[in-house]
C-alpha cells in the first residue's frame, strides 16, 4: 500500500545492520518483493518467454543465507489485490506494456542494452512465477503462506500472534501495522537497514518518534497523511499528520481542530470524518489467514457494536 514519505520520516529509527543480529529468531519475508527483484536479473529471458529458474535460485539464495545465519524464514506470498487498487494496477499494467513494446522495438534496431532497460521495466511477477517459488519452498520444507489479500497485513498479523519476531520487507506499511522490528533493503549477503520501534535518544528531539504513538495513533497519523483508502487533506503530509496526532491525541480530535482552524477549515472535505472512520476500519480489519485456526480472520477483531 504505502504511506507517502513515511520511510524517510522514520529515518531516526533506522540503522545499518545485518540479519545475524536476529539469529535464533523467526522472520516473515515478503516473497513478492523478492520475486520482483529477482525477475530483474532474468528480465530478458522472461520477456522472451524463455523458461528460466534463475529468479527462483535468487530467492532460494536469500532463504539459505538467512538459515546460514541461524534465522528461520517464513515466506508470505500475495493473494488477490484489493478491489480499491484496480486503478493503480491498470496504470502499472499500461506502463509495463508500453515498456515491453519499446524494448522489443529497440531490440529490432540492435540496441541491446537499451532494450534490456525497457524490458526490465516491463517485468511483473506472474502467478506462474509465484507458484513455481511456492512449490520449491514446499519441496525444501520452508514454511510458505499465501495471504488472502495484502501480504503486509498477513505479515504483521503473524508477528502479533508470536509466530515471528521480525519482518523482512520493502513496505512502509509495516510501521502503522505495528511491527516493532523491520529489516529493509536486505541484500544477498544479509546486510540491511533495521527499523526498531523504540524510544529515540536525546539527540533526536526534532525527529519523528513513532514509539511515542499508540497503535491507533500510528494508524490515525498514516490515514491523515494519505493512504490507499483515503486521500489526505491538501497540504497535510506525514510531518503535519504526526504533529496533529501528537498535539490532539487521536484522529477524531485532530480533525475537530482542523475544522476550527481559520486557514485549514475550508480544505477539509465534506464527510471527511466518515471517510476517515471507514479508512480506519479497512486498515484494521483486513482479512488475513490464521494458520492455527486454518481460516480467514480479521487482522484485528471487529467490535461487537
Residues forming the site for DNA (CB under 7 A) = 1-8, 33, 36-38, 40-41, 58, 61, 85, 88, 117, 120-121, 150, 152, 170-173, 184, 187-188, 225-226, 228, 232, 234-241
Minimum distance, C-beta of residue 292 to DNA, in the bound complex (Å): 26
Minimum distance, C-beta of residue 68 to DNA, in the bound complex (Å): 16
- Whichever of 16 and 292 has its CB closer to DNA, that residue is 16
CA distances to 184, 213, 243 from 199, rounded to whole Å, are 19, 10, 17
Minimum distance, C-beta of residue 264 to DNA, in the bound complex (Å): 12
Q: Which cell is 34 given?
A: 523478492
- Whichever of 25 and 96 has its CB closer to DNA, that residue is 96
Minimum distance, C-beta of residue 223 to DNA, in the bound complex (Å): 13
- Whichever of 26 and 177 has its CB closer to DNA, that residue is 177
Q: Which cell is 184 given?
A: 529493509
> Contact, 42 vs 165, CB < 8 A?
no
- Whichever of 17 and 26 has its CB closer to DNA, that residue is 17
- Whichever of 144 and 245 has its CB closer to DNA, that residue is 245
Q: CA-to-CA distance for 76 and 81, rounded, in angstroms?
A: 14
Q: Which cell is 86 given?
A: 484496480
In this structure, the number of other CB atoms found within 10 A of the CB of residue 101 comes to 12
> Contact, 9 vs 238, CB < 8 A?
yes
Nearest to 65 by CA among 40, 41, 39, 34: 34
Minimum distance, C-beta of residue 211 to DNA, in the bound complex (Å): 18
Amino acid at each position: 500500500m504505502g504511506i507517502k514519505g513515511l520511510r524517510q520520516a522514520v529515518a531516526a529509527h533506522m540503522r545499518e545492520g545485518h540479519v545475524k543480529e536476529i539469529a535464533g529468531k523467526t522472520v516473515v519475508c515478503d516473497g513478492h518483493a523478492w520475486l520482483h527483484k529477482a525477475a530483474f536479473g532474468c528480465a530478458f529471458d522472461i520477456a522472451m518467454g524463455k523458461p528460466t529458474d534463475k529468479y527462483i535460485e535468487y530467492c532460494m539464495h536469500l532463504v539459505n543465507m538467512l538459515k546460514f545465519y541461524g534465522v528461520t524464514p517464513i515466506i508470505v506470498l500475495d493473494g488477490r489485490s484489493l478491489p480499491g487498487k484496480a486503478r493503480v494496477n491498470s496504470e502499472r499494467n499500461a506502463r509495463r506494456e508500453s515498456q515491453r513494446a519499446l524494448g522489443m522495438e529497440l531490440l529490432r534496431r540492435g540496441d541491446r542494452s537499451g532494450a534490456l532497460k525497457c524490458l526490465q521495466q516491463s517485468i511483473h511477477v506472474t502467478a506462474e512465477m509465484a507458484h513455481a517459488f511456492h512449490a520449491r519452498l514446499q519441496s525444501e520444507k520452508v514454511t510458505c503462506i499465501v495471504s488472502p489479500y495484502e501480504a503486509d497485513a498477513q505479515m504483521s498479523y503473524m508477528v502479533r500472534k508470536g509466530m515471528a519476531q521480525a519482518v523482512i520487507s520493502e513496505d512502509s506499511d509495516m510501521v502503522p501495522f505495528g511491527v516493532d522490528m523491520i529489516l529493509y533493503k536486505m541484500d544477498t549477503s544479509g546486510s540491511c537497514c533495521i527499523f526498531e520501534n523504540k524510544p529515540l535518544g536525546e539527540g533526536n528531539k526534532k525527529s519523528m518518534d513513532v514509539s511515542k504513538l499508540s497503535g491507533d495513533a500510528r494508524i490515525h497519523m498514516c490515514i491523515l497523511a494519505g493512504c490507499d483508502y483515503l486521500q489526505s487533506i491538501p497540504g497535510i503530509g506525514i510531518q503535519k499528520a504526526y504533529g496533529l496526532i501528537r498535539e490532539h491525541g487521536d484522529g477524531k480530535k485532530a480533525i475537530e481542530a482542523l475544522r476550527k482552524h481559520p486557514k485549514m477549515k475550508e480544505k477539509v472535505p465534506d464527510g471527511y470524518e466518515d471517510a476517515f472512520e471507514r479508512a480506519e476500519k479497512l486498515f484494521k480489519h483486513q482479512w488475513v489467514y490464521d494458520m492455527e485456526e486454518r481460516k480467514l480472520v480479521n487482522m484485528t477483531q471487529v467490535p461487537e457494536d
